Amino acid sequence: MRIVPSLLAAACCLAAAAAQAAAPPPPAPLRLTLSQALARARAYSPQFQAALAAEGIARDNRAIAHAALLPSLTLNNNYIWTQDNIYVANDGPHEFVTLGDVHQNFNFALGPALKQAGAGALLARAQAQIAQRGLRAAVTADFYTLLADRHKVATARQALADAQNYLKVSREREQGGEVAHADVIQAELQLEQSQSALRQAQLLQRQAKLALAVLLFRDLNLNFALADDLGQAPPLPPLRRIQALAALRNPIVASAQAQLEEARQGVKIARAALLPSFSLDYFYGMDAHEYALYNQYHQFNLGNSVMGMLSIPVFHWGANRARVHQAQAVQRQAQVQLSYTQRQLLAALQSDYAAAQAAHDELALLARSRALAAESLRLVGLRYRDGEATILELVSAQLANTAARNAYNDGEVRYRVALATLQTLTGVF
């Protein structure tokens, strides 16, 4: 009786193993370069897509303003029925009106409105570029932070392996009577600290991966890997070239200039309300008692007419003057903002370039410190095996090696981020 449950359990285990073997393997991680990550971020970033939508709307506004300069054609169709013995204002009990209307406005505000819409399109384009460059800086920071965290996990694993090895050596030396039990205790403490450091590094790596995944995928997907080019940072161009690129391709200044042009045209539009306007309508069609080409008297129902209207502003309780004053205030503010933006650009350019230069120069020092720390750990480890160094010296060398490796990775990230920040002012170089 006890054999049957055992056979059933074995059969279930075999079935589960067979199902697991038959299941398709998980897909390989998606490998992404920085350029591929940027393309994905542009597709899924709500801020960047909103900027693109605003740019499209601004282009359409310019098309609308351009259309206002051209004549329009409208076909109006009306039918009016009136009681036979009461005509009121109509021509008869049945009135059919079909008129084509070619309408043209002549207004001093139309030209400035078109220029204002063009400036708005330039403003939206500049803001889209600002959003794109800001997104590039954010993705670059998250991309290389994740790569650096991956290097830190590898460093933590190596430190853990070294701590395990040093604990083994300490126990061997204790058994040989070469060191006291305090060395073993210190090695065990170092091992536990290395295990904790590895868990912390893995946590930071996962958090960095989650932050990047939010930017790169429609659904939260962690099945991806990054192409590791952390140590292949491009060189920093000379300051003169950076300044030239910033003068030619800075969207922040372009945005302020477009805002000033919008304000200038706004003043012209406000002043146009003080001037006369003229409209012209050309009508062709019929206004008859019968919906036909000829009426009952064999007269042709179709005809044409022209109507011109001149509007002269006389008195509006000062409202038009107030609008002019408002537009002039906006123009003055836009001029002040442009000047301030230009000063900000010069200061930011100097500051960001200095930060990038410092991060670039620091990499050489960090690389030397990393090499020296690795060599120091190797030598102290040999001396400890030979009984010439203490466990405290060994622990100190191991901590210094880990700190130097992590500091170098952080320095690589700082340089990458400094370049990306500088490129928000200059574009890609």
Band of the pLDDT at 2, cuts 50, 70, 90? very low
Rounded CA gap, 204 and 151, in Å? Answer: 12
Is the Cβ–Cβ distance between 132 and 423 less than 8 Å? no
Q: What is the pLDDT of residue 295?
A: 79
Q: What is the pLDDT of residue 233?
A: 86
Residue at token pair 């290395």: 194
Tens-digit pLDDT profile for residues 176-206: 888 899 999 999 999 999 999 999 999 999 9
Q: What is the pLDDT of residue 299?
A: 83
Identify any residues that bridge with 284 across adjacent strands, giving them in sequence order: 100, 304
- The mean per-residue pLDDT over the stretch 370-388 comes to 94
Lowest-confidence segment of 144-148, 149-153, 295-299, 323-327 by average pLDDT: 295-299
Ramachandran category for residue 336: left, alpha or beta (phi over 0 → left; psi -120 to 50 → alpha): alpha
- The mean per-residue pLDDT over the stretch 109-113 comes to 95
Is the Cβ–Cβ distance between 252 and 259 less than 8 Å? no
The first and second tokens of residue 138, run together, are 């954010």
Angle in degrees, 0-180, between the axes of helices 319-385 and 391-426, rounded to the nearest 10 = 150
Give the predicted TM-score (pTM) of the model: 0.84
Band of the pLDDT at 47, cuts 50, 70, 90? very high
For domain 32-83+91-292+299-426, say whether CATH 1.20.1600.10 is its number: yes
- The mean per-residue pLDDT over the stretch 362-383 comes to 95
Band of the pLDDT at 328, cuts 50, 70, 90? very high
Per-residue pLDDT at 83 exceeds 90: no
Rounded CA gap, 387 and 394, in Å? Answer: 11
Tens-digit pLDDT profile for residues 229-285: 998 989 999 999 999 999 998 999 999 999 999 999 999 999 999 999 999 999 999
Band of the pLDDT at 313, cuts 50, 70, 90? very high
* Averaged confidence pLDDT in the chain: 91
Identify any residues that bridge with 311 across adjacent strands, giving them in sequence order: 277
Band of the pLDDT at 23, cuts 50, 70, 90? low
Per-residue pLDDT at 142 exceeds 70: yes
Is the Cβ–Cβ distance between 170 and 385 less than 8 Å? no
Please indicate whether residue 182 or residue 86 has the higher confidence score (pLDDT): 182
Per-residue pLDDT at 149 exceeds 70: yes
